[in-house]
Amino acid sequence: MNWSISKAKLFSKCQRRWFYSEIMASKYGKDIHRNEAYILKQLGSIHSWRGKLVDYVIERLLVPKFNEKMLPPFNEIESLVSELMEKQFKFAKEKKYRDPKLTKKEAGDNYCALREIEWADELDSESLNIIKQQVLVSLKNLLKSKLMKKFLAPDTILVAQKSLNFKIKGVNIISRPDLILYFKDKPPLIIDWKAYYHGTENARMQLGVYSIALAECVATDPYLKPMDDPTEIRLIEYQLLKNFQREYKLSMSDVDEIKQYINDSLQKMLKLSEHNNYHEFDIKQFEKTITPECKYCNFKTLCRNEKIKYQVNLTKFLTD
Ligand code: SF4
């Protein structure tokens, strides 16, 4: 089983949704409902697409340039955004994510699965244009932010989207910070981007989990400095659309509280997923939410379909 901060949030909002996403979804095999859960798991809103586009441009274009202590011309950024949006929108519109023979790896940069298209079969050009403008505003804000001084400093090494994995009680704790800045003579700095206008939740818990993960993965520092104290790691949440940043510094009691949160959350997940075999699960054990979450839930079609026979071992019938 894998644990991450996003899986923990999903679990606490709706256990049933976590079941669809983490236990039922499977691309391979002959159970059509498990295949469908896998496809539905891939869907994201156009707002989450906006965030992914921003992440892509920062990781693939900006970070390599910042590491060379250079800035790309803005028209290069604009061209990359236009090209990406065009090919990904085409992929999503043709619903190629539903092609059973095509893997995400093969689809590469083209891969995109949009909820709005899956549900309504349309997305007007005005909505697309707004998303594009917001992506460009986010990137413009970053380029004029006070973070740039750190990015372009001569002794800084930037690493984007690095996987930081460690284990607690045999469970893989998975983290992928948007950006880690390593300094020659100082502890690292972790930055998390947010590309939305209306979110109110702060990133303290998320960044706290990342700092514990970074301290656990000691071998990641390109300057080979020992780093085993998460309270020394500096943390910044940067709101790309608002050009606003919030800094966090953890105390030892924050670290203990976050470790306790991880432990409590994964214990609850382990309790519900103690069966290793999908065919032994009882869906009724996974509580449904009572919040408005259902309206935007990727799995609502599966959830409402009471005819689905969960946990039917089709291989049994195939070999009969
Ligand atoms: S439709 Fe609602 S109850 Fe069902 S999985 Fe989604 S969020 Fe949970």
Task: Give the pLDDT confidence score for residue 311 in this predicted structure.
Answer: 63
Poorest-pLDDT segment among 6-20, 27-41, 171-185, 211-225 = 211-225
Q: In what order do the strands lie in the sheet with 156-160?
A: 156-160, 179-183, 189-194, 234-239, 244-248
* CA-297 nearest atom, ligand 1: 6
Kindly report, residue by residue over 204-232, the tens digit of the pLDDT: 899 999 999 999 886 667 877 777 899 99
Task: Give the pLDDT confidence score for residue 143 in this predicted structure.
Answer: 97
Kindly report, residue by residue over 84-129, the tens digit of the pLDDT: 999 999 999 999 999 999 999 999 999 999 999 998 867 889 999 9
CB of 16 shorter than 6 A to ligand 1: yes
Residue 77 lies in a domain: yes
Contact indicator for 163, 109 with CB cutoff of 8 Å: no
CB of 55 shorter than 6 A to ligand 1: no
CB of 13 shorter than 6 A to ligand 1: no
Residue 320 lies in a domain: no
Poorest-pLDDT segment among 104-108, 175-179, 264-268, 279-283 = 279-283
**Nearest residue (CA) to ligand 1, atom 7:** 294
Residue 76 lies in a domain: yes
Say whether pLDDT at 34 is over 90.
Answer: yes
Distance from residue 249's CA to the centre of ligand 1 (Å): 36
**Nearest residue (CA) to ligand 1, atom 2:** 294
Whether residues 259 and 290 share a domain: the answer is: no
Task: Give the pLDDT confidence score for residue 320 in this predicted structure.
Answer: 38
Pocket test for ligand 1, best of 23, 33, 288 (most atoms within 8 A of CB): 288
Task: Give the pLDDT confidence score for residue 157 in this predicted structure.
Answer: 95
Say whether pLDDT at 318 is over 60.
Answer: no
Take residue 221 and report the two structure tokens written for it.
């520092």
Kindly report, residue by residue over 154-200, the tens digit of the pLDDT: 999 999 999 999 998 889 999 999 999 999 989 999 999 988 766 66
Say whether pLDDT at 233 is over 70.
Answer: yes
Beta bridge partners of 158: 181
Residue 304 lies in a domain: yes
| pLDDT band with cut points at 50, 70 and 90 for residue 292 | confident
Say whether pLDDT at 316 is over 70.
Answer: no
Please give the average per-residue pLDDT across 255-261, as a whole number. 96
Three-state SS for the chain is CEECHHHHHHHHHCHHHHHHHHHHCCCCCCCHHHHHHHHHHHCECHHHHHHHHHHHHHHHHHHHHHHCCCCCCHHHHHHHHHHHHHHHHHHHHCCHHHCCCCCHHHHHHHCCCEHHHHHHCCCCHHHHHHHHHHHHHHHHHHHHCCHHHHHCCCCEEEEECCCEEEEECCEEEEECCCEEEEECCCCCEEEEEECCCCCCCCCHHHHHHHHHHHHHCHHHCCCCCCCCCHHHCEEEEEECCCCEEEEECCCHHHHHHHHHHHHHHHHHHHHHCCCCCHHHCCHHHCCCCCCHHHHHCCCHHHHHCCCCCCCCCHHHHHHC
CB of 286 shorter than 6 A to ligand 1: no
CB of 294 shorter than 6 A to ligand 1: yes
Take residue 11 and report the two structure tokens written for it.
């679990």
Tell me how far apart the alpha carbons of residues 285 and 306 are, in angstroms, rounded to a whole number.
15
Whether residues 37 and 69 share a domain: the answer is: yes
Tally of domains in the chain: 2
CB of 300 shorter than 6 A to ligand 1: yes
CB of 93 shorter than 6 A to ligand 1: no
Residues of the domain holding 171: 146-274
Residue 11 lies in a domain: no
Whether residues 130 and 29 share a domain: the answer is: yes
Whether residues 128 and 151 share a domain: the answer is: no
Whether residues 135 and 169 share a domain: the answer is: no
Whether residues 253 and 296 share a domain: the answer is: no
Residue 14 lies in a domain: no
Whether residues 163 and 107 share a domain: the answer is: no
Whether residues 127 and 205 share a domain: the answer is: no
